[in-house]
A and B are shown apart, each in its own frame.
Chain A
Amino acid sequence: MLGPRKISNSESAARPKRGVPEGLWIRCPQCKATIFRKEMENRFNVCPECDYHFYMPAVARIRQLLDSDSFEEWFTNLRPRDPLNFKDRILYADRLKAEQAKTNMLDAAIVGKGFIRGRPVVVGITDFAFMAGSMGSVVGEKLTRAAEEATRLRLPLIFVSGSGGGARMQEGILSLMQMAKISAAIGRHDQAGCLYISILTNPTMGGVAASFALQGDITLAEPGALIGFAGKRTIWNTVRLELPEGFQTSEFLLRHGFIDRIVHRKDLRTEVARIVDYCGH
């Protein structure tokens, strides 16, 4: 519970980050329209023309999802290490420094407590900007602690996942084992009769999808998010078949029965509050 950090709602909405190019005007990757950046930002990073959901930084997500100035950040003192001395073409240690400098985050997750329309909740968010939102020891530990705190406080748990990489390769087997660790903590939260709402955003893949992201009592997804286990390239290499239209999107998962509701970003607060009220004590 060290180092609570307030995230003020008055800060500017979005910092320049991967996925949202800088400039006054941007081009929507879905409808190809050129849109005014400010307008997109005023709509929670959603395209005004086609509702394409752009990437949203974790800090902005907290501002949008939680009541004004209600967020108390937890476990800000956890910093990643390089347990394998991992080196590919560059050192993992150097990669971490670069990602930290780029994102102003120590690792890919932010957790803490806040209120959604007056309802107390524990929140955890993985940010795609930090190493594609992949889960290593720090992400696993922070989410696990958040789930444990939610169990102790008997509060609803809300995880918002955005992870292209799933488990983080550079921490090897330790990353894979975070999947088991967080699953066990969510199991206890469940056992205690508490509500867990998982919100899937673009993208939620691999080991993140195959653990906490799909263990919710309720699974929500933003429209058009990429969600799945294996990457498209891996699947293509195995089956050598044309992948179906809309494969591994939120809509695809809804159709196949793995998602409860697809929720537009602007409606997430209302929807979460609505569900919390059904599952309260």
Chain B
Amino acid sequence: MPPQSRLPFEKDIAEMEDLLARLENGADPSLGVSEEVRRIRRELMNLLRKKYSDLSAWETVQVARHRDRPQTLDYVELIFEDFVELHGDRAIGDDRALRTGFARLADFRVMLIGHQKGHSLKENNECLYGCAHPEGYRKALNKMRLAAKFHLPVICLIDTPGAYPGIGAEERGQAQLIATNLLEMSRLPTPIICVVIGEGGSGGALGIGVGDRIAMLEHAYYSVISPEGCAGILWKTATEETKPLAAAALKLTARDLFQLRVIDDIIREPLGGAHREPREMANTLKAYLLRYLRELRNIPIPELLEQRYRKYRRIGVFEELTAPQPVAASSAAQA
């Protein structure tokens, strides 16, 4: 792996990967794999297993943001047999941070909606690092309605630091378009499967994130606010010390969300993260999607929508006092 793609907490892993690469390059292929190479491979596996089975929240965020982590268009290449990109939002323009179009997954025809961040600097600039504008959310809803019209299930791949915070985005109704998507997705009469494949950044993620089955890849994160934003507000400044504190406090890992009963499934990643084995990751994702495409296909739409409603209806943690609460008295007692 090229050094610039290395994560700050992977120093010992990187050293061993370098060593292995040197040995493999220098080895005489006619002699086969040497005992030493085999030993180092084993050690590297152990190191990766140890590290990746116990990532901190902040480390998880860094893995989720890894430049080489597979994105929507990588999955299009790796597991979808066809992709007919549809660009038009019918109002403003083509948002490159959000891609939509018909796609085939095995024998299923689907509507694929996904954020795209780009891998290179050039792509990043074109896609604004996956931060969509109102036109992206409008396009997504437009295509979801198209899907419902022709009874195609919708697959949403979520991977965004957040909706774009800019002057044009506000002028063109960022909040309005996300609000509309939430309402319409909650009753869209076709199955919707959402998977957070990298970053689940707040309203920008939720704007294509309401559905019947919600999953996260093992090292993805999903949060109400970025750790940087949270640290900046609650710790007054976002530093290398406060960002990990905010990330931990927000409970944003797949395991956290599963425990909070916000997501249905955690999709296992290859050893050392999706960026190390994109193909393996893609196949796991494909198996997951097919399983739930098959399952959801058999549910009558009214029942599907009722289940979807119930799914969100039960989210939230609060105390329900059994006796009527004299409001002033209770807060006085606590003070």
Task: Name A residues whose Cβ lies closer than 8 Å to a Cβ of B.
Answer: 2-5, 76-81, 83-84, 86-89, 97-98, 100-101, 103-106, 137-138, 140-141, 144, 166-169, 171-181, 183-188, 190-191, 206-207, 209-215, 227-231, 234-235, 237-239, 241, 243-244, 247-248, 252, 256-258
Contact = CB atoms under 8 A, between A and B. Distances in A.
B168 to A, nearest CB: 9
Contact of B309 (A168, A188, A211): A188
A230 B165 CA distance: 5
Contact of B249 (A87, A101, A104, A214): A87
Contacts of A209: 175, 179
A84 B224 contact: no
Contacts of B322: 2, 77
- Most chain A beta carbons < 10 A, residue from B224, B257, B262, B312: B224
Contacts of B251: 84, 172-173
A84 B246 CA distance: 12
Contacts of A176: 202-203, 206, 223-224
A96 B188 CA distance: 37
The 9 closest A-B pairs by CB, nearest first: A3-B324, A230-B165, A137-B316, A101-B335, A88-B234, A184-B186, A83-B317, A209-B175, A183-B182
Nearest to B202: A176
A172 B248 CA distance: 11
Interface of B: 163-167, 169-176, 178-180, 182-184, 186-187, 202-203, 206-207, 209-210, 222-225, 229-230, 233-235, 245-246, 249-252, 256-257, 260, 262, 308-309, 312-313, 315-325, 327-328, 330-332, 334-335
Given A3-B325, A137-B316, A173-B224, A244 B260 contact: no
B249 A186 contact: no
Contacts of A5: 324, 327
Contacts of B224: 167-169, 171-173, 175-176, 207
A173 B262 contact: yes
Given A213-B179, A256-B171, A171 B203 contact: no
B324 A207 contact: no
Contacts of A206: 175, 203
Contact of A89 (B183, B202, B234, B308): B234
B334 A100 contact: yes
Contacts of A78: 318-321
Contacts of B323: 2-3, 77
B165 A81 contact: no
Nearest to A84: B251
Given A79-B319, A174-B317, A211 B169 contact: no
Contact of A238 (B166, B183, B309, B313): B166
B319 A81 contact: yes
Contacts of A80: 318-319
Given A169-B224, A187-B183, A228-B175, 14 more contacts: A88-B249, A97-B335, A101-B332, A138-B316, A141-B318, A169-B250, A173-B260, A186-B183, A206-B175, A215-B183, A229-B174, A235-B167, A257-B173, A258-B176
Given A77-B325, A88-B234, A179-B182, A138 B331 contact: no
A60 to B, nearest CB: 15
A229 B170 contact: yes
Given A89-B234, A169-B225, A172-B224, A180 B312 contact: yes
A210 B225 contact: no
Contacts of A180: 182, 186, 206, 209-210, 312, 315
Contacts of B210: 180, 183-184
Nearest to A3: B324
